[in-house]
Structure 1
Amino acid sequence: MADCEPRSPVATDQLPGMAYRSWFLFIMVLVSASVQGERYLMVVMVEPIRRELGLSDAAIGMAKDMIIAIVYILAIIPLARLADRWSKRKIVAIAATVWSIAVIVCGAAKSFWVLLIGRAGIGLGEGGFTPPSQAWVADLFPIRQRATALSIFLLGASLGTFLGPAIGGLAVQEYGWRNTLIFASIPGFVLAPIVWLTLRDTRPGLADGAPLEKGPPVSFLQTARELLAIRTLPPLILAASLNALLTMGFISWAPAFVERTHGMPASQAGLQMGGALFFGSAIGHTIGGPLADFLGRRDMRWYIWMLMLSGALATGIGWMILTGPGDRVFPLYGLNMLIGGLSAAPLMAVVAGLVPSRSRATAIAILMVSIQVVGLGGGPVLVGWLSDLLRPVYGEQSLGMAMRWALLVGIPSTILAWIASRHCRADFKAAGGWDGPAPKPAMH
């Protein structure tokens, strides 16, 4: 039977061949692009939705971003626990169906509350997709290939973040926001059965050569204690979260900064920022995993040193953004996203590789919750609070000064990553699989 033909959805004990795994990654990239595109599609619909439904900016902000973040944070750990015990394939397929239905609900919304329910459904679908998909990649690719595989997987997020607003903006002008949302639901409905019918579950730990784990399921508290006992993980997760705080603090205030400091119109700033963020993150994600796998063969600490270096370099480039001329702001933003993207796949590979295979989805969920709460939640708020605090002294320049103060976050993030690197060798050895031969894939 060819690798890409539909298989019985039963976890096997033989690592699939590269043809199947390439098909798997291709589908996962498309699914990831779908959910990210659905999430960010609304940024180009703010004004028509606001006018038609009579909403305030605060209500739009709640529906566009906050409700997704709240539902995502609440749902991700329970759904990750389910993924560790049940079928990752089924959860990913169901999640794609959920967010596709949710997009239709948004398109049919006649009131704020229906719109809010639809956006909450997108958050639920995203929360159900993230942990099992990344753990599934770890189940299929040996440790020495894992960061490369995760780099390919992460391209889906970059693609969706770019294509959702780009195609959506054109479609809204041509067909209106309601029809655009209906059209946008189609990819998820197409991909869900493809996941269900052509992919198959893989036993956790198979790619690492780990034996089948038997026994009753482990409680969440016991799992959390096991994860916190891995000395590399707490400082590593906190370092990644502080890096996210710095990144999101800068990105969320970028258009306002260039408008206040350099007089650039918001429309021009938005276009330049979108291109810089997409190309920077896409290149960084593409290069980061293979580079980490290459350097990691010489010293496994490179998987963590890349995060440490990205935090330090982001601080330096951030200073150049804030003190340089206006025409360099967005090229430097793109460079910052490239450097930050280099560390994304290695970070996920380390988290997935250090924890017990039965707890991978839960560990990834804990990482994502920390990044969401500290980074996406704290970064924009911290910069805004500092700007208000400094306004009596600096006036319209207070935002730039606040962003300079926020750069100090790069210092503890770099130190924490260095601390994590001191423990990683012993933790890698205890986890097993890092020095052993990769399991042989099936020959098809």
Structure 2
Amino acid sequence: MTEMSSSAATPPSSGYRYVVLALLFIVYTFNFIDRQIMGILNVPIQTELGASDSEMGLLGGLSFALFYTGLGIPIAWLADRSDRTWIMTVALSLWSGFTTLCGFATTYTQLFLARMGVGVGEAGGVAPAYSLISDYFPPKERARALAMYSFGIPIGSAAGIALGGIVATSVDWRVAFIAVGLGGLLVAPVFRIFVREPERGRYDSKQGSTARAGFARSLATLTRKPSFWLLSFGASCSSIMGYGSFYWIPTFLQRSYGFTLLQAGFYYGAILLIGGVIGVWLGGLLGDKLGAKRRAMFALVPAAAWILAAPCYALGLLSPSPTIAFFLFLAPTALGLVWLGPVIAAVQHLAPASARTTASASFLFINNLIGIGIGTYLLGAISDALTERFAEESLRYSILAGTGFYLLAALLYLVAARSLKRDWVD
């Protein structure tokens, strides 16, 4: 026990910090491969199971979000009091195992239940990682470190869509689930072996930052801060469009542009990879540079990005040419992910080090319950409602309607900028 404490208290070398960050990124990449592979497999699953757009929206969102959001906070409470690396190892093993089980589903209900299991596992995969990064990187580098970790979102989403398209075309959609699930199971023991639990609050200046506050007290302190609610609901609004578009655009490409499954996978995978990586890195860079001088910039940078993203998405969706649409989609894909580095870094500073995982999980609870739970279903339901008028083009106008949530998110962040400095914990 003494040896472990001594190891944790020793400041990590720069090289080891980035080894840890790389492994956290790989785990997060599998998180999004398993989460977003549903988007590209939507059409073959829908064809075989005979589900409507609304039902597929529930399968892509609510089935996952139910336990993902509900279990996130109690797991965070545990992570603030125990070994975060073990929690993440178990979580990765669980969600990968349930992803594999998705490949054995033969009915809509079975697939729905398996996706719920994926959500159970992923509930322990993100908030502990945010907390670990905050204990491996000092405040001046956190937004960029969190942005590098968040590369797992565009890279994992792109890999899931491209890989899913390749495997589903070559074999079938069930094998795609099995392949990515087994990949995650192989990564889990490697992560556990190489990632050490760090000292909590190593880089925090306030005395007592490592003291363990009670869960109720930590949550009460957090929820009294206006910026927490504004950041959480603003991110939720952006995630309705973000998760909704990630899930439905591959289907839109097949319906409106006549793409094959494989073409849609490579086309949209490239957009997510290029645009997503640029956007995530830009957000982290701007957050660290501008936020160091003015805390409000952690909210103002995402607000500006969303205001620019909405019209860019509209132009891409209304373009008659898929070639032109490709370049038009790159900009809003990048702008739609700028928020990750600055906002996640800001949330880490709304609570002391001893309650960071709880703060992250509370933020993720709101963001994901609304963003994932509502986003994919809402766009699917709007598509069903517009089918009588627009037929195969209904998804085009459904996704177009979703861009309004970016503007609502921007408005909430403009308000959040006014209270962020007052709520900040150094």
TM-score normalised to the size of structure 2? 0.84
Tell me the CA shift for residue 397 of structure 1.
7.0
- Per-residue deviation, 1:109: 4.7
Shift of 1:22: 0.7
- 1:108 touches 1:178 (CA, 8 Å); kept in 2? yes
Matches within 5 A, 1:360-375: 360-375=356-371
The answer on 1:332 being equivalent to 2:328 is yes
Q: In the TM superposition, what is the alpha-carbon distance from 1:289 to its structure 2 partner?
A: 1.0
Question: Which residue type is aligned with residue 19 of structure 2?
Answer: W
Structure 1 residue aligned with 2:279: 284
Residue 303 of structure 1, aligned match among 273, 298, 304: 298
Aligned with residue 71 of structure 1, among 60, 64, 67: 67
Residue 275 of structure 1 pairs with residue 267 of structure 2: no
Q: Does 1:228 pair with 2:226?
A: no
**Equivalent residue, structure 2, for 1:352:** 348
In 2: Cα distance, 1:75 partner to 1:200 partner: 24
Report the Cα distance in structure 1 between the residues aligned to 2:315 and 2:177, rounded to whole angstroms.
39
Name the stretch that deviates more: 25-34 or 184-193.
Answer: 184-193
Partners of 1:315 and 1:352 in 2: CA distance:
28
Q: 1:16 Cα shift?
A: 1.4
- C-alpha change, 1:107 and 1:399, in structure 2 (3 Å) is closer
Q: Does structure 1 residue 56 correspond to structure 2 residue 50?
A: yes
1:132 to 125, 128, 133: 128
C-alpha distance in 2 between matches for 1:414 and 1:273? 25
The reply on whether 1:264 has 2:257 as its aligned counterpart is yes
Change (3 A) 1:42 1:395: closer
Which residue is equivalent to 1:436? Answer: none
Query: Residue 241 of structure 2 is aligned with which of 237, 246, 271?
Result: 246
Computing the radius of gyration over CA atoms, which structure comes out larger, 1 or 2?
Answer: 1
Distance in 1 (alpha carbons) for counterparts of 2:111 and 2:202? 42
Q: 1:233/1:42 Cα in 2 relative to 1: closer, same or farther (>3 Å)?
A: closer
Q: What's the secondary structure of 2:226's corresponding residue?
A: coil
Distance 2:164 2:406 in 1: 35
Q: For 1:60 and 1:384, how far apart are their aligned partners in 2?
A: 7
Q: Give unmatched runs, 5+ long, in structure 1.
A: 1-6, 433-444
Comparing 293-302 and 349-358, the one that deviates more: 293-302
Identity among equivalent pairs (%): 26
Structure 1 residue 62: deviation in Å? 5.5
The RMSD of aligned alpha carbons is 3.4
User: Which deviates further from its counterpart, 151-160 or 89-98?
Assistant: 151-160
Distance 1:92 1:402, change over 3 A: closer
Give the equivalent residue in structure 1 for 2:232: 237
Assess, with a 3 A threshold, how the Cα gap between structure 1 residues 301 and 112 changes in structure 2: closer, same or farther. Answer: closer
List alignment gaps of at least 5 residues for structure 2.
none
Q: Is the 8 A contact 1:244 1:379 kept in 2?
A: yes
Aligned match for 1:192, one of 162, 176, 188: 188
CA distance in 1, matches of 2:7, 2:228: 29
Q: Distance in 2 between matches of 1:180 and 1:418?
A: 42
Q: Is 1:89 aligned to 2:85, yes or no?
A: yes
1:100 maps to which residue? Answer: 96
Deviations 1:342-384 (A, max 9, x none): 2211110000122122221222222222222332333344455
| Range with bigger deviation, 42-51 or 327-336 | 42-51
Deviation string 1:192-215 (CA, Å, 9 cap, x unpaired) is 222322222123322223444576
Whether contact under 8 Å (1:8, 1:200) holds in the other structure is no
Query: Residues 315 and 106 (structure 1 numbering): CA distance in 2 closer, same or farther, change over 3 Å?
Result: closer
C-alpha separation in 2, matches of 1:348 and 1:9:
28
Distance 2:176 2:390 in 1: 44
Equivalent position of 2:315 in the other structure: 320
More divergent stretch after superposition (202-211 vs 83-92)? 202-211
Contact 2:278 2:334 in 1 (8 A): yes
Question: C-alpha offsets along residues 163-217 of structure 1, whole Å, 9 cap, x if unaligned?
Answer: 2332344345556555554443443333222232222212332222344457665
Which deviates the most, 330-339 or 113-122? 113-122
For the Cα contact (< 8 Å) 1:12–1:203, is it kept in 2? yes
Which shifted more, 199-208 or 85-94?
199-208
Q: Is the 8 A contact 1:100 1:189 kept in 2?
A: yes
| Partner SS for 1:422 | coil
* Structure 2 SS opposite 1:205: coil
| Distance of 2:35 and 2:407 partners within structure 1 | 32
Partner of residue 26, structure 1: 22
Counterpart-to-counterpart distance in 1, 2:120 and 2:160: 19
Return closer, same or farther for 1:91/1:388 CA change in 2, 3 Å cut-off: closer
Residue of structure 2 in register with 1:156 after alignment = 152
Alignment-mate amino acid for residue 125 of structure 1: G
Deviation (angstroms), 1:303: 1.8
Matches within 5 A, 1:27-42: 27-42=23-38
Question: Which deviates the most, 62-71 or 280-289?
Answer: 62-71
Normalised to the residue count of structure 1, the TM-score between the two structures is 0.81
Change in Cα spacing, 1:138 to 1:56, as seen in structure 2 (3 Å) is: same
Aligned residues: 419
